[in-house]
C-alpha cells in the first residue's frame, strides 16, 4: 500500500525524486517534448506563478508515507498519507502555499487520482493507470500520455532550476 499510495503523487514522489545523478544536463532538455512529455502542456507552467524550487534537493520519507522534499532555496513539497488518501502541499521559498493536492487510490476509474488545487483556485486532475496518465488542465482541456519513467522527464517536473531529490528514510 505504501508504494502504491506514493505513486498517487505524480509530481511529488514519482517525478521529483531521484538519486541525484540523473539529469545533469537537464536545462537544455526540459523544453523538448521528445524528452519531457510535460513540455508545452498545462503542467509545464501550472505552478510557475508561485512554486519556485531551485538548487539541490534533499528528501525524507518515513514508513507512514509522509514525504518532505526541500530545495536549497527553501521551497518544499510536503505530503502525508492516511489510509488510501495522501495530501500534499507545494510551498514557495517564502513559505506561501502554492497548491494543495489530494490523491486517492482506486478513485473515479483511476488506479490513482490526484487533484491539485492551485493558489488561484483552479485545479489540475491527474488520472494515473498502469500504462497511461490522463491530465485535465485548469481550462478543462485534457491530454493523455504513457506512464512517465524516463529520468530526464522526471528531472523536469519542477522546472529547470530544481534538481532531482536525494531521498533518505527519516529516523524513527
- Give the total number of structural domains in the chain: 1
How many helices (H) and strands (E) would you count in the chain?
A: 3, 11
Confidence of residue 94 (pLDDT cuts 50, 70, 90): very high
Q: Which residue has the higher pLDDT, 97 or 20?
A: 97
Asked whether the beta carbons of 86 and 66 are under 8 A apart, the reply is: no
Weakest-pLDDT range from 12-21, 53-62, 65-74: 12-21
User: Taking residues 55-70, what's their average pLDDT?
Assistant: 91
Q: What is the pLDDT of residue 80?
A: 95
Q: What angle do CA 41, 18, 77 make, to 5 degrees?
A: 65
DSSP letter assigned to residue 96: -
pTM for the whole structure = 0.77
pLDDT digits (tens, 9 = 90+) for 1-53: 333 333 334 444 333 333 334 444 444 577 788 777 778 888 877 888 899 99
Q: What is the pLDDT of residue 153?
A: 62
Question: What is the Cα–Cα distance from 166 to 91, expressed in whole angstroms?
Answer: 18
Question: What is the Cα–Cα distance from 86 to 108, expressed in whole angstroms?
Answer: 16
Q: What is the pLDDT of residue 155?
A: 67
Q: Is the pLDDT of residue 162 over 70?
A: yes
DSSP H stretches of helix in 22-150 = 42-45
Domain hosting 37: range is 2-169
User: Taking residues 74-79, what's their average pLDDT?
Assistant: 96
Amino acid at each position: 500500500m505504501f508504494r502504491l499510495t506514493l505513486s498517487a503523487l505524480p509530481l511529488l514522489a514519482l517525478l521529483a525524486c531521484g538519486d541525484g545523478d540523473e539529469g545533469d544536463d537537464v536545462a537544455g532538455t526540459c523544453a523538448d517534448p521528445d524528452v519531457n512529455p510535460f513540455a508545452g502542456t498545462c503542467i509545464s507552467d501550472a505552478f510557475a506563478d508561485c512554486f519556485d524550487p531551485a538548487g539541490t534537493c534533499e528528501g525524507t520519507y518515513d514508513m507512514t508515507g509522509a514525504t518532505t522534499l526541500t530545495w536549497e532555496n527553501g521551497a518544499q513539497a510536503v505530503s502525508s498519507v492516511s489510509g488510501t488518501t495522501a495530501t500534499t502541499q507545494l510551498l514557495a521559498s517564502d513559505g506561501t502555499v502554492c497548491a494543495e493536492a489530494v490523491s486517492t487510490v482506486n478513485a473515479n476509474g483511476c488506479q490513482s487520482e490526484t487533484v491539485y488545487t492551485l493558489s488561484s483556485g483552479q485545479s489540475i486532475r491527474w488520472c494515473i493507470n498502469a500504462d497511461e496518465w490522463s491530465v485535465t488542465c485548469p481550462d478543462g482541456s485534457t491530454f493523455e500520455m504513457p506512464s512517465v519513467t524516463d529520468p530526464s522527464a522526471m528531472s523536469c517536473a519542477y522546472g529547470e532550476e530544481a534538481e532531482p531529490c536525494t531521498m533518505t528514510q527519516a529516523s524513527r
